[in-house]
Chain A
Amino acid sequence: TRPTTHWETSFGARAFGGFQGCLFGDRPMGTVRIATVGAGVMGLSTAVCISKLVPRCSITVISEQFTPETTSDVAAGMLIPPVYPDTPIHKQKQWFKETFDHLFAIANSAEAEDAGVLLVSGWQIFRSIPTEEVPFWADVVLGFRKMTEDELKKFPQHVFGQAFTTLKCEGPAYLPWLEKRLKGSGGLILTRRIEDLWELHQSFDIVVNCSGLGSRQLAGDLKIFPVRGQVLKVQAPWVKHFIRDGSGLTYIYPGISNVTLGGTRQKGDWNLSPDAEISKGILSRCCALEPSLHGACDIREKVGLRPSRPGVRLEKELLAQGSRRLPVVHHYGHGSGGIAMHWGTALEAARLVSECAQALRTPAPKSKL
C-alpha cells in the first residue's frame, strides 16, 4: 500500500507530475530516487553536489527545520577549521581546501552578496605560545603570517598571534542560495520530521543522512552529542576584522549585516534557550578584546547545538530489514567545522551516492546490492 501520509511542501516547492510519478506511479526507467534528510548546510550542499554528479536522479530534501531555524543559521560561518581527532589530517586539509576554493570563487563573483560569502581579515591570538604555531590550514587561507610586535600591542593579555584573510559564509543567505540552486536543477524540498529512515524505503532508492544530532535517533549513533554554543549577533558596523582567541571560546566575527560575538562550548547541553548570564559573559569577554564593542547595539541572543563527534561520519551503510534493503550514505558529525568543511565532505558524500546509484543500475543476479 502507498503511504497515506500527506507530504507538506515548503518554500514553494513544486508538486508536479514528475513528483507524483516518482512517489506513486511507475517512474521513468533508470531514475534513481534520492532523499536527503536534513536541510542544514550539509543536507542542502550534498543535494546540490548530487544533482551535479549523479545522472538521471531525482533529489528530495526532507527536513523538519529549514533556514533560518537550522544550526547552520546560528553559526557565524568563519572558515577557521577545528581538528577532528579521528580523521586523518590530509583528509581534513583536502575538505577545507575544497570548501575554501568553492567559496572563494563565489566571494569574487557577482553572487557574493546573495550567497552571503565575504572575505574577512583578522587575528587569532593566544595567551601562551601554542604548540602548533602554523596550523595545517595555514596555506589554504590567504596571507597567513605571524603577527608583529606592534600588532600584538593591541592585545596586552596575549603573547602570540596569527594574521590572515579567510572567508565567512553566512547560513541565513547561503542556505536559501543553495535551495534556489537545488530547485533550479529540479530538486524538491519537503517539510517533515522523519522518525525512522525506513519511512523512506518505499519512495526512495538511496537515503542521504545529513541529520546532524538527529542521527542519535535515526542512525542509533551515540558517538554524536551536542556542544551547545551561545552567541550574540550585534550591530557594530565599524568592526572590520575578526578577532579569535586561540582557545576558540571568545571571538568577534564581523559579517554582512551584523557582528557575531561568542561564545560557549557546553558539552552534552541540549538547552536551546539563551542564558542571560552567559550573554553578559560573552559581551564582557569580547569588549575586553575590542573595547569599541561597548557601543554595540541591537543585541540578539542565539543558541546552536554543534553536532559533535570525534570524526565526521562519511560512509555508506546498507540497512537491512528482512528482505528489504535501503542504501544509506551518512554525512554528519562536523561539530564546529560544518561550514568550514561542508563542500569538501559534500563532494565526497555525493561520490558515495554515485557509487550506490551505480550499484543499483548494474544488473546483478541478486537484486540491489
Chain B
Amino acid sequence: MRVVVIGAGVIGLSTALCIHERYHSVLQSLDVKVYAERFTPLTNTDVAAGLWQPYLSKPSNPQEARWNQQTFNYLLSHIGSPNAADMGLAPVSGYNLFREAVPDPYWKDVVLGFRKLTPRELDMFPDYSYGWFNTSLILEGRKYLQWLTERLTERGVKLLLRKVESFEEVARGDADVIINCTGVWAGALQPDPLLQPGRGQIIKVDAPWMKHFIITHDPESGIYKSPYIIPGIQAVTLGGIFQLGNWSETNNIQDHNTIWEGCCRLEPTLKDAKIVSECTGFRPVRPQVRLEREQLHVGSSNTEVIHNYGHGGYGLTIHWGCALEVAKIFGKILEERNLLRTPPSHL
C-alpha cells in the first residue's frame, strides 16, 4: 500500500503521522511519502500563532466541532509529558474581549476554567465592556512541524521536495492513495471556487512579561480583523489582519501600522517591545473543511484521493480530529480492498 500525502503543513504532516501510527502494523507493507513544495519554516502553519481556539460561532458542519474537541483533548493528554515543550505545546490562559455582551461559545466546556471577566479585569481594557477568561493551549506551528518531521522520519516516512502538477502524475507513478493536504493552494490541483486565501500578517515581538493571550472581537470587522496578542514559547505574536482574496506574499506597511497601533492601544506595555520578525501567511478559507474521498480513474486502476484542506484560521485547532477522520476513511478503503489483516487499533 503506497500512500502519498501532498502538503507538509500541519494538516499534511499530522495526517501522515496518524495514518502511519494506526496502520503500519496491520498492513503487510505500508509506504507513506510526503510531497511538498514548501516545508517548515516556509509553510502557512509556521506563520500561525498557534492558539487553540475555534471561531466563535457554530460551524456549518457539526463534525468540525467534534474534530476541534478531539484535537484539544489529544493535545491536553500530552500536557504532563516531559516532551510537551518539544512539541511546541504549553497551556496558556487569557482574555477574549468584546464591546457588548455575547453568548458563550460552543467550546466553552472544552477549554479549561471558562468564565466571564470580572469588572476589575475589564478595567484593564477600556475599549471593551465584556469578555471571557479561560485556559487553552498553545501549539506553536514551527516547533510542532519540526516535532512531526522528527516523528515521521523515525518511522521511515520520507519527506520529499517536489512540486506536484496533478493528481494523475502522482497516481501514475507512486500512489494507491493520495491525501490532498495542499491547503490554500488546493485550487492548483483541482479548481475549488469555495476556497480563498484569507491573508494574514503578523509581527513577532520580544515581550516576555506577556503571559496571557488577549483577543479582541469586533462584530463589524469580522474574525481576525481586530487586534490580538498571543504569547508563544519565545516571542509574542501580534496580529489583526484578515484579507479575503489577497494573494500578496509581502509584508504591507499599512497592515504593519494597523497591527502595531491596535495592539499597543490594547496593551500599552508593548510600546517598547523589540520586533523580532514579521511575516505574511494565507489562511485556507472555505465555508467548511473539505474532508472527503474521491476516486480517480487513471489508466486501468483506481486511485483514491482523500481531500483534507480548507481549515481557515483554525488549522492547528482542528488538525488532529481531521487526521483521525482521514485515517477512518483510509481504513474503509483498506477494508474495501481486503487489505486489513487485523482490525486496526486506536479507531
Contacts and interface: CB of A to CB of B under 8 A. Distances in A.
A150 B108 CA distance: 13
B119 to A, nearest CB: 10
**Best-buried of B92, B93, B234 by chain A (most CB within 10 Å):** B93
A257 to B, nearest CB: 6
A107 B117 CA distance: 18
Contact of B211 (A113, A119, A287): A119
B337 interface: no
Contact of A238 (B90, B118, B212): B90
B271 interface: yes
Interface centre among B83, B112, B121 (most CB of A within 10 A): B112
Q: Taking chain B's interface residues, is the majority helix, strand, or loop, or is none over half, making it mixed?
A: mixed
Contacts of B271: 110
Interface in B65-80: 79-80
A142 B85 contact: no
Contacts of B83: 292, 295
A151 B135 CA distance: 9
Contacts of B191: none
Contacts of B169: none
B286 to A, nearest CB: 32
Contacts of A256: 208-209
B84 interface: yes
Nearest to A142: B121
Main secondary structure of the interface of A (DSSP, over half): mixed
A237 B210 CA distance: 11
B143 to A, nearest CB: 9
A333 B157 CA distance: 63
A239 B234 CA distance: 11
A42 B207 CA distance: 28
Given A118-B211, A237-B234, A238-B85, A143 B268 contact: no
A36 B90 CA distance: 45
Chain A interface residue number, banded: 20 to 34
Nearest to B86: A295
A154 B269 contact: no
Interface string B271-314: 11100000000000000000000000000000000000000000
Contact of A143 (B84, B92, B133): B133
Contact of B268 (A108, A142, A238): A108
A-B pairs with the 6 shortest C-beta distances? A118-B209, A294-B82, A238-B90, A112-B269, A238-B85, A121-B93
Given A119-B211, A294-B82, 11 more contacts: A110-B269, A112-B269, A120-B211, A121-B212, A142-B121, A143-B115, A143-B118, A163-B113, A236-B85, A240-B212, A291-B82
Interface of B: 79-86, 90-93, 112-113, 115, 117-118, 120-121, 124, 133, 135, 138, 207-212, 231, 233-234, 268-269, 271-273
29 contacts: A108-B268, A109-B269, A110-B269, A110-B272, A118-B209, A118-B210, A118-B211, A120-B211, A121-B93, A142-B120, A142-B121, A150-B112, A154-B79, A165-B93, A165-B121, A165-B133, A236-B85, A239-B90, A240-B90, A240-B92, A241-B91, A241-B211, A256-B208, A257-B208, A291-B81, A292-B81, A292-B82, A292-B90, A295-B86
